[in-house]
Chain A
């Protein structure tokens, strides 16, 4: 339990240091270590590279019995088809995905930060009950919400609209829990000083607490973005029309429509992978540190 506070408190962006074990690992040991790591690297990278390579093949080369690591007839025809098709508007899907994931991330951070601050710093009736209920739902598997939430969003007339993949999932119990732990770990002195200067609660929250919490807010925003970006089941069933799909749901449509057109499928997968892959390349360390901190909530 306490490890979480240590893990979250004033966030360091430095690369974590492993325990130094004596400092002489032995040459043979090191060679074996690198050998294993390199074999793993090949196992992890080669499928992704093959996806990229295949997206530049012709339909025939993509299903050639002999693997082609370099396309015999390099072509962008798969991309031309993908980008030019009205049935599979991938760019529209990419736009929908970016919009939905961004909107949900903002909604999660805004609502969770406000609630978490009240739970961290204020005293009020029902506080324990509210916090207890939120924490309890951390352990409730999401499967239980699928059917009733479908009925609820159909009542709101949100079926087949992006709202359906933005709003319901924004009720993040994890977000509240995560930020409450962070706010609790902040030193109170600055807030006290602002209070003495006559700042109201919202002012203190906005201009003292939030600026101090940027790393934690960014981490939560990123995790929420990735969760929404990769969500598959929910958009698959609540979005119907081609124009409304997100990338994951769209890819499934694409696969159903083009069973063995692997050139098209790999081009589609590449387009779906590209935005998040670029985000990952740009902020790789931040993404990993962010995810690794979720585990310390144990």
Chain B
């Protein structure tokens, strides 16, 4: 690495310490050095993120069968097909989007609220705290494949543990968790909560610990009760973390694939086949990539809009001068 020759201005070197808000010089590399540092990452980023986004749009405008050499221009035909109930993919796509919507609407509130309750329960020093935290987080590290295979067994309609224990406490013991709705939705949402509760709880816990204890003390002195302290100290202090959890949970739920693939296989009658499941099948199994690319753009736009709405919702009510 040469280029130290591009010397920074003299007086800066003599008084190196504490330039408050001063303009940064290129003392750690000028000329082409920064580009050299960026090169490996930008090569990956361009090839596997930027180019694919543009290529994806291009593909979605063609009748793009991966296995055929000819890929004729289709204009907006693929997009029209998605919303045309008489086309080959229309009804299936709408059904898949509906499945994703149902799962997202059912799982996000639970995955936002339950982990927060668990985090609040653990937000104090007490014996065994780290042990509990480690246990609740454990399913997350196992990954969706292990937990999917495991719960496919536990939810088995005939020999599963779940139905067996339901029977023991006098409830119906023949629920078809994997082959009928709405039971399948309950199963998929329940497994997902079980799987990722610990992840969100851990993020909440870190956020809770950033709230200054003095704020609670002050609220207490002002005579605030538990609920008022939660409402006026905890929630506002948690706002950025809460926004992060809501957005990442929405995106994760809208991308739900493994649970459905392993536990219900999309049953009954593709009712639990989610959008991303259908996109992967259309594009990577049937190789109808033009339509699959169009679907992923529709799903992406939906998700971006949803994220924007969430961000606005969290920003609007932000009190002025909120510290942190």
Residues of chain A at the chain B interface (Cβ within 8 Å): 1-3, 6-7, 15-22, 25, 30, 33, 36-37, 40-41, 43-45, 47-48, 50-51, 54, 62-67, 107, 110-112, 114-115, 117-119, 121-124, 127, 130, 133-134, 137, 139-152, 154, 167-171, 173, 176, 189, 191-193, 195-196, 198, 200-205, 226, 229-230, 232-233, 236-237, 247-249, 251-252, 254-255, 260, 262, 265-266, 268-269, 272-273, 276-277, 279-280, 284-285, 287-288, 291-298
In the complex, what residue of chain B is closest to A51 when comparing beta carbons? B150
Contact residues, B15-55 vs A (CB, 8 A): 16-17, 24-30, 33-35, 37-38, 40-42, 44-45, 47-53, 55
Q: Which residues of B contact A119 (CB under 8 A)?
A: 38
A288→B143 contact, CB < 8 A:
no
> Complex Cα distance A38/B158, Å?
29
> Complex Cα distance A236/B26, Å?
46
Q: Which residues of A contact B26 (CB under 8 A)?
A: 122-124
Q: What distance in Å separates the Cβ of B202 from its nearest Cβ neighbour in chain A?
A: 5
B24→A121 contact, CB < 8 A:
yes
Q: Which residues of A contact B297 (CB under 8 A)?
A: 144
The 8 Å CB contact of B38, one of A19, A114, A295, A297, is A114
B53→A146 contact, CB < 8 A:
no
> Complex Cα distance A252/B209, Å?
40
Dominant SS among interface residues on chain B: helix
Q: Which residues of A contact B134 (CB under 8 A)?
A: 280, 284-285, 288
A298→B3 contact, CB < 8 A:
no
Known: A147-B56, A151-B66, A296-B207. A288 touches B132 (CB 8 A): no
Q: What distance in Å separates the Cβ of B240 from its nearest Cβ neighbour in chain A?
A: 4
Q: Which residues of A contact B185 (CB under 8 A)?
A: none
Known: A292-B206, A298-B240. A44 touches B296 (CB 8 A): no
Known: A3-B324, A202-B1. A152 touches B47 (CB 8 A): yes
B213→A20 contact, CB < 8 A:
yes
A152→B55 contact, CB < 8 A:
yes
A122→B33 contact, CB < 8 A:
yes
Most A CB contacts (10 A, CB to CB) among B28, B48, B146, B261 go to B28
Q: Which residues of A contact B138 (CB under 8 A)?
A: 44-45, 48, 277, 280
Given A21-B220, A115-B42, A269-B146, 8 other A-B residues pairs in contact with their CB atoms under 8 A? A115-B41, A118-B37, A122-B26, A145-B53, A167-B44, A171-B48, A192-B17, A248-B144
Say which size band chain B's interface belongs to.
35 or more
> Complex Cα distance A206/B49, Å?
28
Q: What distance in Å separates the Cβ of B261 from its nearest Cβ neighbour in chain A?
A: 7
A147→B296 contact, CB < 8 A:
yes
Q: Which residues of A contact B159 (CB under 8 A)?
A: 62-65, 260, 262
The 8 Å CB contact of A50, one of B136, B161, B243, is B161
Most A CB contacts (10 A, CB to CB) among B13, B45, B128, B211 go to B45
Closest 9 CB pairs of A and B: A295-B203, A201-B29, A230-B143, A248-B145, A115-B41, A148-B52, A292-B206, A298-B240, A118-B37
> Complex Cα distance A154/B52, Å?
13
Most A CB contacts (10 A, CB to CB) among B137, B245, B299, B307 go to B137
Known: A48-B138, A115-B41. A196 touches B293 (CB 8 A): no
In the complex, what residue of chain B is closest to A107 when comparing beta carbons? B44
Interface residue? B130 (CB, 8 A)? yes
The 8 Å CB contact of A19, one of B122, B216, B243, is B216
In the complex, what residue of chain B is closest to A20 when comparing beta carbons? B213
The 8 Å CB contact of B1, one of A20, A201, A232, is A201
Contact residues, B183-212 vs A (CB, 8 A): 194, 198-199, 202-212
B53→A140 contact, CB < 8 A:
yes
Interface residue? B241 (CB, 8 A)? yes
> Complex Cα distance A67/B324, Å?
52
B141→A121 contact, CB < 8 A:
no
> Complex Cα distance A3/B323, Å?
10
> Complex Cα distance A225/B161, Å?
32
Q: Which residues of B contact A142 (CB under 8 A)?
A: 255
Q: What distance in Å separates the Cβ of B194 from its nearest Cβ neighbour in chain A?
A: 7
Most A CB contacts (10 A, CB to CB) among B41, B207, B280, B292 go to B41
In the complex, what residue of chain A is closest to B205 when comparing beta carbons? A292
Interface residue? B125 (CB, 8 A)? yes
Q: What distance in Å separates the Cβ of B283 from its nearest Cβ neighbour in chain A?
A: 5
> Complex Cα distance A169/B194, Å?
27
Interface residue? B175 (CB, 8 A)? no
Q: Mark B143-179, 1 if CB is under 8 A from A, else 0.
A: 1111011111110101101001100000000000000
Contact residues, B93-122 vs A (CB, 8 A): 118, 121-122
Interface residue? B236 (CB, 8 A)? no
Contact residues, B277-312 vs A (CB, 8 A): 279-280, 283-285, 289, 292-293, 296-297, 299-300, 303-304, 307
A41→B48 contact, CB < 8 A:
no
Interface residue? B85 (CB, 8 A)? no
A232→B143 contact, CB < 8 A:
yes
Q: Which residues of B contact A66 (CB under 8 A)?
A: 164
Most B CB contacts (10 A, CB to CB) among A62, A143, A249 go to A143
B37→A21 contact, CB < 8 A:
no
Q: List 21 A-B contacts (CB under 8 A).
A: A3-B207, A3-B240, A19-B216, A21-B216, A44-B194, A44-B198, A47-B161, A115-B41, A122-B29, A122-B34, A123-B25, A124-B30, A141-B251, A191-B28, A200-B3, A204-B28, A233-B257, A248-B144, A269-B149, A272-B145, A288-B134
